């Protein structure tokens, strides 16, 4: 089975548009800005044997403030320019009660079935409590990029980092350490 790093999109891969202390997605291709260090972090993870899979809530499609066409164009650009293996998006709002909208872990579980991923050996990197809860619910170790948004904080356990590159280095170091442990050792 494979291992993966699941990544939120806005705030982890690309810059969020922050208004009133809350993050919002880019409204167009022109607003899409990949964060510094992301390309190198994704390459580092891929070289360490991880699949890089984006799992993102995009409820603006359901509410009509964003078109699915624009979201798909953003995803095509990211897939074409970064070491990403897949992008999974939920277009629902909480009231829809779907299993794919984070904080539920449906997007991660769908990807795990399709790509044959060991969730217990995988990681989630996000910048909002919903990301961390989805990763925890799937059995992944979670890394939280803390931008200090004015919203609910995640429930522990998680590791706080300042960026995707910081998370990637920690993930690779942890994965390398666990692969060199003698048989029968526990981490």
> Does pLDDT of 185 surpass 60?
no
CA dihedral 139, 143, 149, 151 (to 10 degrees): 20
Please, what's the b/e burial string for 26-42 (b: 16 or more CB within 10 A of its CB; e: otherwise)?
A: beeeeebeebeebbebb
- Span 83-87, average pLDDT: 98
Residues classed as catalytic: 8, 10
| Domains within the chain, CATH numbers bracketed | 7-124+138-179 (3.40.50.1000)
pLDDT tens track for 1-37? 999 999 999 999 999 999 999 999 999 999 999 999 9
Tokens read off for 177: 């350490």
The total of other beta-carbon atoms located within 10 Å of residue 128's CB is: 26
> Does pLDDT of 93 surpass 70?
yes
pLDDT tens track for 146-181? 999 999 999 999 999 999 999 999 999 999 998 765
Helix (H/G/I), strand (E/B), else coil: 9:
coil
pTM: 0.94
């Amino acid at each position: 089975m494979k291992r993966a790093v699941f990544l939120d999109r806005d705030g982890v891969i690309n810059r969020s548009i922050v208004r009133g202390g809350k993050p919002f997605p880019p409204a167009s291709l022109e607003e899409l800005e990949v964060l510094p260090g992301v390309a190198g972090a994704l390459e580092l993870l891929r070289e360490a044997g991880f699949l890089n899979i984006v799992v993102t809530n995009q409820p603006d499609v359901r509410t009509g403030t964003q078109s699915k066409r624009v979201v798909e164009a953003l995803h095509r650009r990211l897939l074409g320019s970064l070491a990403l293996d897949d992008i999974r998006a939920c277009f629902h709002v909480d009231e829809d009660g779907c299993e794919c909208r984070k904080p539920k872990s449906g997007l991660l579980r769908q990807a795990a079935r399709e790509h044959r991923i060991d969730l217990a050996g995988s990681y989630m990197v996000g910048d909002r409590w919903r990301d961390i809860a989805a990763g925890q619910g799937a059995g992944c170790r979670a890394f939280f990029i803390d931008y200090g948004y004015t919203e609910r904080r995640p429930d522990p356990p998680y590791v706080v980092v300042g960026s995707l590159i910081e998370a990637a280095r920690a993930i690779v170091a942890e994965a390398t350490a666990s692969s060199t442990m003698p048989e029968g050792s526990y981490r």
